[in-house]
Structure 1
Amino acid sequence: MAERRVLWLGLGLMLLSAGFLVWQIRAPYGFILELRAAKLGALICVGAATGAATVLFQTVAGNRLLTPGLVGFDALFVLLQTVLVAGLGGVGFAQIPTAPRFLIEAATLGGGATLLFGLLLRRDAQDVMRMILTGIILGVLLRGSAEMVQRLMDPSDFAVVQQAMFASFGAVDAGQLGVSAVVLLAALALSLRLAPALDVCALGRDTSRGLGLHHDRLVMIALLLMAAMVSVSTALVGPVTFLGLLTASLARHLTGTHRHAVLIPAAALLGALILVAGQFLFERLLGSASALAVIVEFCGGLTFLFLVLKRRRR
Structure 2
Amino acid sequence: MSPDTRIHRARVLALSLGGLMALAVAVYMTLGAVGSWSFVLSYRGEKLLTILLVAWAVPVSTVLFHVISRNQILTPSIMGFDALFMLIQTLAVFLIGAATVTQWPPVLVFLGELTAMVAFSTLLFRWLFGRIAQSLELLLLVGIIFGVLFRSVAGLLQRLIDPGEFLVLQDRLFASFSGADPQVLAMSAALVAAASLWAIWRLPAIDAMILGRDGALAVGVPHRRMTAEVFLIVTLLVAAATALVGPITFFGLLVANLAYRLLPGAPLRLTLPLAGLLGALLLVGAQVVLERVLGFTGTVGMVIEFLGGLLFILLLIERAR
Structure 2 CA distance, aligned partners of 1:289 and 1:224?
37
Gap change, CA 1:280 and 1:170, over 3 Å in 2: same
Gap change, CA 1:200 and 1:124, over 3 Å in 2: farther
Residue 104 of structure 2 corresponds to: 96
Amino acid at match of 1:217: R
Name the stretch that deviates more: 271-280 or 48-57: 271-280
Structure 2 CA distance, aligned partners of 1:311 and 1:93?
44
- 1:174-230 Cα shifts (integer Å, max 9, x gaps): 111111111112212221222222221111111211222111111110010000000
Structure 2 residue 57 is matched with structure 1 residue 45:
no
Structure 2 CA distance, aligned partners of 1:146 and 1:309?
30
Gap change, CA 1:289 and 1:225, over 3 Å in 2: farther
Residue 193 of structure 2 corresponds to: 185
Cα displacement (A) at 1:299: 0.6
Gap change, CA 1:118 and 1:282, over 3 Å in 2: same
Structure 1 CA distance, aligned partners of 2:127 and 2:289?
44
Residue 14 of structure 1 corresponds to: 22
- Aligned residue pair count: 313
Residue 66 of structure 1 corresponds to: 74
Structure 1 CA distance, aligned partners of 2:15 and 2:118?
32
Amino acid at match of 1:80: I
Amino acid at match of 1:46: V
Amino acid at match of 1:74: D
Unaligned stretches of 5+ residues in structure 1: none
Cα displacement (A) at 1:39: 1.0
- 1:143-191 Cα shifts (integer Å, max 9, x gaps): 1111222222111111122112210112111111111111112212221
- Give TM-score scaled by structure 2 length: 0.93
Residue 152 of structure 2 corresponds to: 144
**4+ residue stretches of structure 1 with deviation over 4 A?**
123-126
- Provide the secondary structure at the position in 1 that maps to 2:156: helix
Structure 1 CA distance, aligned partners of 2:128 and 2:54?
28
Gap change, CA 1:29 and 1:130, over 3 Å in 2: same
Amino acid at match of 1:13: M
- Give TM-score scaled by structure 1 length: 0.95
Q: Percent identity among equivalent residues?
A: 39
Residue 111 of structure 1 corresponds to: 119
- Provide the secondary structure at the position in 1 that maps to 2:50: helix
Structure 2 residue 89 is matched with structure 1 residue 77:
no
| Equivalent pair of 1:2/1:262 in contact (CA under 8 Å) | no
Root-mean-square deviation (CA, aligned residues, Å) is: 1.6
| Equivalent pair of 2:58/2:241 in contact (CA under 8 Å) | yes
Structure 2 CA distance, aligned partners of 1:125 and 1:196?
27
- The within-5 A match list for 1:1-314 is 1-4=8-11, 5-123=13-131, 126-288=134-296, 290-313=298-321
Structure 2 CA distance, aligned partners of 1:130 and 1:13?
40
Structure 2 CA distance, aligned partners of 1:118 and 1:9?
40
| Equivalent pair of 2:192/2:237 in contact (CA under 8 Å) | yes
- 1:43-97 Cα shifts (integer Å, max 9, x gaps): 1111110000000111100100011111000111011001111122111111111
Unaligned stretches of 5+ residues in structure 2: 1-7
Amino acid at match of 1:236: L
- Provide the secondary structure at the position in 2 that maps to 1:290: coil
Cα displacement (A) at 1:279: 0.6
